[in-house]
Amino acid sequence: MKRFLYILLDIGIIYSSILFTFYLFGINELLEDYQRNFDAFMMVYPYIGILYLILLYTFGLYSISRKTFYDLIYTVFLISVSMVVGIMGICFFMREITWAFPRSVILISGLLYFILLVIKNIISWYIGQRTYIVKKIIVIGNESEKLNKILAGNFSKFYKIIGQYSGYDSSLYSMIKEADEVYFCSDIQPKVREKIFPICIKYNKDICFVPLYFDISIISSSMFKIGDIPAFRISNMGLSLEERFLKRSMDILFSFIALIISLPFAIITALLIKLDGGPVLYAQERVTLNGRYFKILKFRTMIPDAEKLSGPVLAGESDPRITQVGKWIRTIRLDELPQLINILKGEMSIVGPRPERPFFVEKYEKEIPEYVFRHKVKAGLTGFAQVEGKYNTTVENKLRYDLIYINRYSLLNDLLIMMRTVKILFMKESTEGVDT
């Protein structure tokens, strides 16, 4: 209910900002045809609220209590900019009716509701930080120590760990009664889970668990009956013919548009790399759909022959092989632009698991047999693992995200991931290298 009221207040702030801007322009006679301009706004106003709801959901503004102060401001900024661009886009496509909606009003009101939304959300964030009730949790599994460190280190304001168990213990019964949530690690034994699950249900405790790779495959399963026995069928993971056709059509359209828009940035980037010395582009072998190899294209950000002596190595934090120009290019992901050519050629998709090098694929498949499942779709320029995790997220957790993406595939999810990619472009943690 509180979240619903927050959303209504936000929409009220946006509409009020636009109306107030119209009022200022009106009393100062800054509009040549005030009535015509205002009528154009009235034709657009229902779409403004819908646009805000879409952006709110895409950028996840209302997990306020768990956001950092910087992330909160950054999210509001992205939503505000997207609102301005989106309203202008709506006016463009409905131009016969709404072209009279003044761009000056859209821009100034955008600045106004950005400021007001920041103030309102900072107050909400501050209140949320002060009034949040810390949840008491229990962590169960052999990897409980690892999960415990993450929860205690990153979420100490929200959780208090009152118990940590590698398996079933006689004291668990009383501890579960006291806890708010129970966390299962991915390595918890089935027999232990079967004992604990009924206790949690009995006392209405929330259960959170890190899924096994098999658990993820159940997402896309379908129910059927064997006589009168309920059963679930897990079909071969991957996309249907219709889904592949729609995804490929979207890839061609969006990558072609992106190539045209990004051309000036690509030219500037190429000139900077050339002035720094060495080749502009480099091609590296990667793995895509059905384990096929292809040459991925990137703007060069490392010294030439960076792996001549070391062999294949993941980029580390403060990696000495990265050039000064390369650091700047990596920060805003300009090194990825040439991959739009790979997408047009059909070797990659806009959204999908990031393409890995054959050396590491072979290594990971030996350690994690399920790693091969991520090649059920084409490799992507961005992906679910990229918007939810970071560059240095562990291989196991990246694989979980990739498998969730494949099992939940839809064109709408692709569009949402593309929009969320905009958010992480300028976030430093999303490009941090692995520990060296």
SS3 139: strand
Backbone angles phi, psi at 342, to 5 degrees: -60, -35
Backbone angles phi, psi at 226, to 5 degrees: -110, 95
Whether the CB-CB separation of 273 and 300 falls below 8 Å is answered with: yes
The mean pLDDT values, 10 residues at a time, for the chain of 436 residues are 84 95 91 89 92 87 68 90 93 78 93 95 83 86 81 77 84 88 88 88 90 87 89 84 94 94 92 86 93 94 69 63 83 89 96 94 93 94 90 88 93 92 72 51
Whether the CB-CB separation of 393 and 229 falls below 8 Å is answered with: no
CA–CA–CA angle 121, 122, 126 (5° rounding): 115
Q: Token digits for 176?
A: 């579960």
| CA distances to 260, 378, 403 from 296, in Å | 20, 13, 22
Whether the CB-CB separation of 51 and 14 falls below 8 Å is answered with: no
CA distance 129 to 123: 10
Q: Report all structural domains of the chain as residue ranges with CATH numbers, in order of start.
A: 2-131 (no CATH), 135-210 (3.40.50.1980), 241-431 (no CATH)
Whether the CB-CB separation of 170 and 127 falls below 8 Å is answered with: no
Task: List, as one string, the DSSP characters of 85-100.
Answer: HHHHHHHHHTHHHHTT
The confidence score (pLDDT) of residue 432 equals 55
CA distance 216 to 214: 5
The confidence score (pLDDT) of residue 423 equals 82
Helical spans, DSSP H, in 338-410: 339-344, 358-367, 384-388, 395-407
Q: Token digits for 393?
A: 């997220």
SS3 205: coil
Residue 95's identity, in one-letter code, is R
| CA distances to 87, 94, 260, 299 from 101, in Å | 9, 11, 28, 41
Q: Any bridge partners for residue 226, and if so which?
A: 229
The DSSP element (H or E) to which 417 belongs, if any, is helix 411-424
| CA distances to 105, 244, 256, 381, 411 from 401, in Å | 42, 20, 27, 15, 17
SS3 294: strand
CA distance 335 to 360: 21
Q: Report the helix count and the strand count for the chain, using DSSP H and E.
A: 16, 10
End-to-end CA distance of the chain: 46
CA distance 8 to 2: 10
SS3 390: coil
Whether the CB-CB separation of 179 and 136 falls below 8 Å is answered with: yes
| CA distances to 168, 219, 416 from 405, in Å | 33, 10, 12
**C-alpha 356 chain-centroid distance:** 19
